[in-house]
Chain A
Amino acid sequence: KNQVEQSPQSLIILEGKNCTLQCNYTVSPFSNLRWYKQDTGRGPVSLTIMTFSENTKSNGRYTATLDADTKQSSLHITASQLSDSASYICVVSRHNNAGNMLTFGGGTRLMVKP
Chain B
Amino acid sequence: EAGVTQFPSHSVIEKGQTVTLRCDPISGHDNLYWYRRVMGKEIKFLLHFVKESKQDESGMPNNRFLAERTGGTYSTLKVQPAELEDSGVYFCASSQQTGVYNSPLHFGNGTRLTVT
Contact = CB atoms under 8 A, between A and B. Distances in A.
A84 B40 CA distance: 21
Contacts of B99: 95-98
B66 to A, nearest CB: 18
B56 to A, nearest CB: 4
Given A43-B107, A43-B109, A43-B110, A97 B97 contact: yes
A104 B43 contact: yes
Interface of B: 4, 9, 31, 33, 41-45, 47-48, 55-56, 58-59, 91, 93, 95, 97-101, 103-105, 107-110
Interface in A86-107: 89, 95-100, 102, 104-107
A68 interface: no
Contacts of B59: 100
Given A99-B45, A106-B41, A32 B101 contact: yes
A48 B70 CA distance: 33
A105 B104 contact: no
